Amino acid sequence: MKSVILPSYNRNIIRSMLGLKIEELDIPIPGDSDVIIKVHAAPVNPSDIAFLQGTYNVVKSLPAVPGFEGSGVVIDAGKNAINFIGRKVSCFVQDDRSGTWSDTIIANIEDIIPLKDEMDMDQAACFTVNPFTAYGMFEIALQYESKAIIQNAAGSQVASFLRKMALENGIEVIDIVRKQVSANKLVNEGAKHVLIETDVDFVEQLGNLSIKLGATVAYDAVGGSLSGLMFNALSTDSELVVYGGLSGKPIAEVDIMDLIFNNKIISGFNLMDWKAEIGQEEFVRISEELQDGFISGKYHTNIRGFSSLDDIVKGLRSYISDMSLGKLLIKP
Ligand SMILES: NC(=O)c1ccc[n+]([C@@H]2O[C@H](COP(=O)([O-])OP(=O)(O)OC[C@H]3O[C@@H](n4cnc5c(N)ncnc54)[C@H](OP(=O)(O)O)[C@@H]3O)[C@@H](O)[C@H]2O)c1
């Protein structure tokens, strides 16, 4: 099988990318509960970038094949997984044996989601992570009966799913981006309250809007002082949900009095913990609901373009230069 190989981690993302190689590897032999998947496509996510840098919470033995999620068709299986042969699946693999930036992968049946026939396979490549993350995090806003939410990195795909879910539920969204071009794009798509974090009166605008709309939950994928500014802008009895650290900086600027006296919480969200918490039956129900949303066109991941395995470095460069343009799909 043809795979992308990461020989060594490097905090400098350009150096890490330039070190990537393409190699032919033996197709693994499936264990009893494993499937072998012919890969249709695999996206590049922020977690993959952090992985290449060696700063993600998953660190594989080197050399490693990068890529955590993807879509494809099961072409072989162990004795407990025979029924999956021929099925279209999405998968999420973080073990040492496999990465999805490859034309073939091995996955445990616990790491695959069998797909409905009508599911588009490009959309399916980005199905296992972001839609479920948004769904799980949105439940927090529903629990708070929020009238409004705040989110940063609002040009991201997770933020786009959250915006859609909020709109459906009549919840206002305060979107924060770091570039004017991203703000323009969101406004053109119909977003009503878009703020740019570098504007001189950003803190004032955020505070005023949050009070006016009654925001009780804020979703933070960035960290640094923006976390504190979002937290401080929330009303009493509210929650800052931290789910990413795109700035690479620790949380700062949190108003400690607010934290102690105003029943305001800072929490972390991790998809895998949420998945374990809800249990398999509920996960399958949500998967069906989300798949129906993709099939009907209600949900959609923006795809900026495609890259072959051989063109991986060019593709990665284009993704990191403007992440809000959508996902790059690697197609073997
Ligand atoms: N906790 C979990 O379980 C979980 C699960 C899934 C995803 N996530 C996290 O969710 C976040 C979004 O993922 P995604 O796949 O939706 O992303 P994506 O579509 O690939 O887009 C990334 C976004 O992040 C923005 N961004 C990057 N660096 C930034 C910074 N330093 N400050 C502000 N904005 C920045 C980009 O804006 P520009 O266009 O301005 O670069 C872009 O809008 C990531 O942090 C990811 O790790 C967490």
CATH placement of domain 2-126+301-330: 3.90.180.10
Tell me the domain boundaries of the chain.
2-126+301-330, 131-271
- 154-158 average pLDDT score: 97
Q: Are 287 and 113 in contact (CB under 8 A)?
A: yes
Ligand 1: distance of its center to the CA of 11 in Å? 18
pLDDT digits (tens, 9 = 90+) for 210-265: 999 999 999 999 999 999 999 999 999 999 999 999 999 999 999 999 999 999 99
**Which of 186, 37, 197, 208 has its CA nearest to residue 106?**
37
Ligand 1: distance of its center to the CA of 6 in Å? 22
Percent of all residues in the chain with a pLDDT value above 70, rounded to a whole number = 100
Spatial distance between the Cα atoms of 86 and 307, rounded to a whole number of angstroms? 25
Considering only CA atoms, which residue is closest to atom 25 of ligand 1? 153
Q: Is the distance from the beta carbon of residue 246 to the nearest atom of ligand 1 less than 6 Å?
A: yes
| pLDDT reading at 305 higher than 90 | yes
**Which of 185, 172, 235, 187 has its CA nearest to residue 208?**
235
Q: Is the distance from the beta carbon of residue 126 to the nearest atom of ligand 1 less than 6 Å?
A: no
> How confident is residue 97, by pLDDT bands cut at 50, 70 and 90?
confident
Ligand 1: distance of its center to the CA of 200 in Å? 23
| pLDDT reading at 48 higher than 90 | yes
Q: Is the distance from the beta carbon of residue 151 to the nearest atom of ligand 1 less than 6 Å?
A: no
Considering only CA atoms, which residue is closest to atom 21 of ligand 1? 156
pLDDT digits (tens, 9 = 90+) for 174-205: 999 999 999 999 999 999 999 999 999 999 99
pLDDT digits (tens, 9 = 90+) for 160-175: 999 999 999 999 999 9
Q: Is the distance from the beta carbon of residue 287 to the nearest atom of ligand 1 less than 6 Å?
A: no
CATH, domain 131-271, list 3.50.50.60, 3.30.499.10, 3.40.50.720, 3.90.1560.10: 3.40.50.720
Helices 157-168 & 130-143, crossing angle to 10 degrees? 40
Considering only CA atoms, which residue is closest to atom 24 of ligand 1? 153
> How confident is residue 95, by pLDDT bands cut at 50, 70 and 90?
confident
Other C-beta atoms within 10 Å of 191: how many? 20
Strand 69-77 vs strand 88-92: parallel, antiparallel, or unpaired? antiparallel
Output the average pLDDT for the chain: 96
Ligand 1: distance of its center to the CA of 152 in Å? 9
| Secondary structure letter of residue 203 according to DSSP | H
Q: Is the distance from the beta carbon of residue 179 to the nearest atom of ligand 1 less than 6 Å?
A: yes
